[in-house]
Amino acid sequence: MLKLNQKFIKIPKIPSKSLKLKKMFALKALIPLMLFVIIKSQKAPVPNKKCLDCICFVESQCKALKCQWDDDAVSCGYLQIKLNYYKDCGTPDLKKGEKVEDGWQRCALNKDCAYKCMTNYMNRYFSLCKRPNASVCEKWSRIHNGGPNGCSAARTDIYWAKIKKCGAN
């Protein structure tokens, strides 16, 4: 009993089974959320420098190329980053009040920012790659070239062959 303002209030006991069930249900409800947070917060493994150099070389001969029309959209800079890719990588180094289009072009033409964008993109999509025997370099290359599902897309075979020819594996 609890004494409150000189009155006694009887607090009913909750049966222990009922409380255990409620706790178990709450835990079961939290598990998928916790797994989602863990998976989304994982960082992609980083390929070796040779791989990153080859991606840069295949994309632009590692030069800050001006923005130009590519296969299906405008691509810019060292890694030939498209606007949607830049948005997906979290718009790194976007200045307050700056238009996303301006931040994208500036970032793509800055090697450090372009690499930061690619790393963010891989952190976001690397877990989607279902090629168990592929190297980290192959996964990065295919995702960079083919988007979130590029790892399983045959259209990235030619790109991966170019990366391997450059000397990466």
Point out the residues that are catalytic: 59, 70
Q: Which two tokens stand for residue 29?
A: 């409800």
DSSP string, 89-135: TT-TTPPTT--HHHHHHHHHTSHHHHHHHHHHHHHHHGGG---TTS-
Query: What separation, in Å, do the N-terminal and C-terminal C-alpha atoms of the chain show?
Result: 72
Q: What is the CA radius of gyration of the chain?
A: 25
